[in-house]
Structure 1
Amino acid sequence: MGSEYEVLLYHTEVRWLSRGKILKRLMALRTEVMFFLKEKECPLLEYFNSVEFIHGLAYLADIFGNMNEVNLSIQGPEVYIMDAAERLQALLGKLGLWRRRLEVGNYANFSMLEEVLLHDEVERNKPLSASLQNEMCEHLDTLQNSFTGYFSSGDLKVETWICNPFSTDVNSIDDSDLAKDDIIDLSTKEMLHCEFDSKSLGEFWCSLTQAYPRLAKRAMKALIPFATSYLCESGFSGLVNIKTKNRNRLDVQHDMRIALSNIIPEFHLLIEGKQQQSSH
């Protein structure tokens, strides 16, 4: 690795969320960190005395913060693959825009870098070096290329009527598609329109498996695929909370089912079937 910035970039590209927060915190406390390193006579102090390192640190704090926002927006139980694909498409367009702005010295999308370059009392009037600016632009190009293949082209082609069958232009659907009849019929049902507004997309189409099986089957094929590993990670988090070192022999099968299910148990029926312990 050549510059101090490249070293920092290499060690921070592994994890988005945690390291994004660490970098922002490090930028906010860099003066205190410098005093601490100086007191301990740590060789890392030379990095914090480097203008190029501070500029690179500010850029990384900004870009990881932007990635964190996207990452959080595609997590959750009600996020479908079309939602994630749309947000990724928006990010791809923004990355190209950010690169062009950065290339001409516009730091509007990098608040910490702009603060350091224009308003910071210590770093002010110390321009961004041309070599570091080129590295940042190359990094944005790399990010754009890496996210381009995140979803296959087939994942992005979701029939528009799945997202909202009541505002879909039925004339855009091929006449040979038998689903067109069902969509026309469905779009006239005012009660179903009210249900669509009050339910999640998954709940709405699940409720139509009997009335419109053809539509429901095609809709669920688009809604069921996992967009991210969020559900898996939340499952492991639930397992960690349930199975501790004091309960390491616990068979967690039923406990996990309750922890991960959205169904609320009927506790009163469960209690009625049990014998209460009498007082002594």
Structure 2
Amino acid sequence: MQVLVVCHCLIHQENLCAKSVQLSNVMPIVIKCINFIKSRGLNSRLFKQLLEDLNTDYHDLVYHCAVRWLSRSDMLTRFYLLRNEVDQFMNNRGNHVVELTDSQWLCDLAFMVDISKHLSELNVKLQGPSQLLNSLFAKVKSFEAKLHLWKVQLENNNTAHFPTVQEQKPSTTAKYAHVCVNLMETFNARFLDIKSKEMELDIFASPFNVVATDNSRVTVR
């Protein structure tokens, strides 16, 4: 007896879910600042010199690449850590960016840093050789459970799993709970095909834990 399960690539579906996370007021400002600094040779050299003079832990920003979305997590993290230096440089070059000193915008940036990191960690877990489909799907379901937990916590202003947001001490985190809800809905829609075949995966993973007579959802080919 053979059971054939056909589904879309889990990593690709997770990528699409990650791309759906957008705080429209964050990414345009971040990309604008990075492009202003790194797309001009003089600005890039002056910024690196500023970081060297200030003896920072990092010596440059990270470019954002829409094709390789995993770079977004590194890019946002680096930008957040160098936000004060970026603000100083932009002011020195006569290009003041008010958002860099706006507490609410910085909270939004911090949330994007944390949620992008969580999504990147999931993506890494889904990669690598010798992983079976049932194991990969278990990791996706585990992440969905985390999203539900984070949603409840953020509704109660609990930022235990969002350390960068915690640094900013926002007055409320309810808006970030809505982002988690939207992400949960996106995950549910993207992984709907494999969820419909969960019985087949259960039989494969734990055949002795499945009731033999419950074959209503099993397709034998």
Pick from 126, 129, 134: which aligns with 2:174? 134
Match of 2:117 in 1: 65
Aligned identity (percent) is 23
Match of 1:194 in 2: none
Pick from 212, 216, 220: which aligns with 1:173? 212
Length-normalised TM-score, structure 2: 0.62
Length-normalised TM-score, structure 1: 0.50
Residue 154 of structure 2 contacts residue 174 of structure 2 at CA under 8 Å; is this kept in 1? no
Aligned residues: 157
Match of 1:259 in 2: none
Change (3 A) 1:135 1:96: same
RMSD over aligned CA atoms reads 2.8
Match of 1:187 in 2: none
Deviations 1:131-182 (A, max 9, x none): xx33312111110000002221333333445336xxx527832499xxxxxx
Change (3 A) 1:92 1:171: closer
Offset, 1:34? 1.2
Report the more deviating stretch, 103-112 or 145-154.
Answer: 145-154
Offset, 1:20? 1.0
Cα distance in 1 for residues equivalent to 2:162 and 2:130 = 30
Match of 1:38 in 2: 91
- Aligned residue type for 1:97: L
Offset, 1:9? 5.4
Match of 2:103 in 1: 51
Cα distance in 1 for residues equivalent to 2:142 and 2:135 = 11
Residue 134 of structure 2 contacts residue 202 of structure 2 at CA under 8 Å; is this kept in 1? no
Deviations 1:225-266 (A, max 9, x none): xxxxxxxxxxxxxxxxxxxxxxxxxxxxxxxxxxxxxxxxxx
* Structure 1 unpaired stretches of 5+: 118-127, 177-217, 222-280
Higher RCO (CA < 8 A, seq sep 6+): 2
Cα distance in 2 for residues equivalent to 1:175 and 1:52 = 53
- Aligned residue type for 1:42: N
Residue 160 of structure 2 contacts residue 166 of structure 2 at CA under 8 Å; is this kept in 1? yes
Offset, 1:30? 1.0
Cα distance in 2 for residues equivalent to 1:69 and 1:159 = 24
Cα distance in 1 for residues equivalent to 2:210 and 2:165 = 50
Pick from 136, 145, 163: which aligns with 1:84? 136
Q: Greater CA radius of gyration, 1 or 2?
A: 1
* Structure 2 unpaired stretches of 5+: 1-22, 32-63
